[in-house]
Structure 1
Amino acid sequence: MTKYLISFPSSAMIVPQQEMQSVADAAHAVTQEAKDAGVWVFGGGIDESVPPVMVDGEGTVIDGTYPQTRQIEGGYTVLEVPTREAALEWAAKFAAACRCAQEVRAFAYDPAA
């Protein structure tokens, strides 16, 4: 089975404040469905109030991040499913719950890890 990252940036989720609770409830329901199906690995949102840092090979901490990843934020889910089609089906469920399109990416399998 392959692990898939299903994600969206915060800016894609345009929901009126008065509807946020119903969106959260819908997303939690899909999350529970994935857990019940045994495909859930991890999920959560990036805490945008905590600035990113980089750590080099000697342990030095540097404020900031790579220029190409400055905009990493939003919600992320990792599922382990048997096919890409299954990942797309789950992404559609999360898209409906969150009211925004979801990006789907497969993790590469490393047999040595």
Structure 2
Amino acid sequence: MTKFLISFPASAMDVPAEDMPAVSDASRAVIREAKAAGVYVFGGGINSEVPSVMVAADGSCTSETYRETRELDGGFCVLELPSREVAVQWAAKLAAACRCAQELREFYYDPES
């Protein structure tokens, strides 16, 4: 089985505030379905209210990020699935629930993870 990252940036969710409870309910229903199917690994939303820090090998922290990830926000989940085709089906379910397109990325196989 392969692990897939399904995600979207916060800016992709252009949903009126009054619709957010329905979007939350729908997305949580998909996550519950993934858990019931035994394919859910982990998921959540990036807390944009807490600034990210860069941690060096010596443990020191600076208030910076990699340029490419400055705007890493939004929601994501990791599912363990038998094929890319099945991953596309789950991403489509989340796209419908969240009312925005989802990015789909595949993790490299690591026998220790």
Q: Which string of whole-angstrom CA distances, capped at 9 and with x for unpartnered residues, describes residues 7-63 of structure 1?
A: 000000010001100000000100000000000000100000000001111111111
Aligned to 1:39: 39
* Amino acid aligned to 2:106: A
Q: Matches of residues 59-70 of structure 1 in structure 2 within 5 Å?
A: 59-70=59-70
Superposed, 1:1-113 pairs within 5 Å as 1-111=1-111
Q: TM-score, with normalisation over the residues of structure 1? A: 0.97
How many pairs were matched up? 113
Displaced runs of 4+ in structure 1, greater than 6 A?
none
CA RMSD of aligned residues (A): 0.9
Cα distance in 2 between the residues matched to 1:71 and 1:96: 24
Between the aligned residues of both structures, percent identity stands at: 60
SS in 2 for 1:105: strand
Give, in whole Å, the separation in 2 of the partners of 1:23 and 1:88. Answer: 20
Partners of 1:10 and 1:90 lie apart in 2 by 19
- TM-score normalised by length of structure 2: 0.97
Give the unaligned 5+ runs of structure 2. none
1:64 CA displacement: 1.5
Q: Structure 1, unaligned stretches of length 5 or more?
A: none
